[in-house]
Amino acid sequence: MMVSLIQSNYMGFGSGIVVPGTGVSLQNRGHGFTLDESHPNVVAGGKRPFHTIIPGFLTKDGAPVMSFGVMGGNMQPQGHLQTLVRMLVHGQPPQAACDAPRWKVATGMAIDCEHTMDPALVQGLRDRGHQIVPVADTYMDFGSGQFIARLGDADDGYVAASDSRREGQAVGF
């Protein structure tokens, strides 16, 4: 059994409102809306603000293979892609894929990358015209993932990974 869950309050503490007696803080995903009637994200029925709560679940032939998620705003889809390619194409175990250096599309030809990225790769991107910005603080900029993957049949067990960029842990019981 696996569950994919992404916890997010958005913008740090979320709305700043805590439900009395519970300690539960409310999210503020509505922050992406505006009252400006000329803006595409004006508050209106049937509309959704841009947000990135995208827990993932991987299946193969209808059977569960892995629950996963990379939190971190617009890094979420990029982190999902990077970690899945490392596991599914390059055969890395979940923890290695989770800990590997990440990059992030910024604006125009700019790419942010973790300072641990292979210097030859960074230079190759520069040679192709990309503007590379090494980022030393990876806490907020490159996401944080957790993964639970099935090892073959259900009797074979599971392997889990938790990103070293933030607090968290992978737990089985």
Domains of the chain plus CATH, in order, are 53-162 (3.60.20.40)
Q: How many CB atoms lie within 10 A of CB 86?
A: 19
* Cα gap 173→169, rounded to integer Å: 13
148/68 Cα distance (integer angstroms):
6
Please list the ranges in the chain whose pLDDT falls under 70: 1, 4-9, 11-12, 48-53, 137-140, 154, 172-173
Give alpha helix (H) positions in 55-102. 75-84, 94-99
pTM score, two decimals?
Answer: 0.77
